[in-house]
Amino acid sequence: MKACKKCGVVKALSEFYAHPKARDGHSGICKVCKIDYVQGKYERKRQIVPAGHKFCARCKLVKPVEEFGRNAARVSKRGGTTGYQPYCKTCWPEYQRYYRKRPEAGFMAAEKLRKQRKSLVRRRRDQARQLTQLAVMFGYLIPTTCEVLGCTVGREGVVAHHTQYDKPLDGIRWLCATHHLEVGHGGLWTNPPR
């Protein structure tokens, strides 16, 4: 038996929630008082929102839905106003500025800048590789065995070596990974392919 600290009624230990840090292993408040406390706290925090209005989670004010930006991806499972941003139009730019200062946002910005700074030669090379992959996928190009004499690598282990990037599908040589590096992509192969 234990007395509740809130209502003062002496009750059995089964009427109290378990609490590992308490001396007897149970909470000091009975289950009924705890439920009343939690529900009252929820009601105090929750704003009553009339129809046609929405609660801004940042400035904690109830405003008309016209003051919120549209967002079709936001659908509430509990009903209510759907299709709007969680923050009002005045708070949304502040949130975006905060979001962009995070380290993950800095990484995304750096990646975007890296793509913009790509040189023309590198862009042509990437486009040639993509075009070759598509041509192989759709059957316009068929890989052959490695062109180097004495190499036993079959069609599965070859890669396309572009001799020119202006016309990516002309002048393609099919080489295994080892001979592709020896031709001019990073020097000699030091680690065998896996």
Burial of 119 (0-12, 13-18, 19+ CB in 10 A): exposed
55-87: per-residue pLDDT in tens? 888 888 889 989 998 887 776 555 555 688 889
CATH hierarchy code of domain 2-45: 3.30.60
pLDDT at 189: 41
Most confident of 23-32, 37-46, 97-106: 23-32
Statement: residue 194 has pLDDT above 50 = no
**130 vs 117: CA distance, rounded Å:** 19
**62 vs 42: CA distance, rounded Å:** 17
Q: Output the pTM of the full model.
A: 0.37
**10 vs 14: CA distance, rounded Å:** 12
Statement: residue 31 has pLDDT above 90 = yes
Residue type, 50: P
Into which CATH architecture does domain 49-117 fall? 2-Layer Sandwich (3.30)
110-152: per-residue pLDDT in tens? 777 777 777 777 788 888 888 999 999 998 888 888 888 778 7
Which residue, chain included where needed, has tokens 């962009």?
A: 100
Ranges of CATH 3.30.60.130 domains, the chain: 49-117
Nearest to 9, CA basis, from 36, 28, 35: 28
pLDDT at 193: 44
**147 vs 36: CA distance, rounded Å:** 80
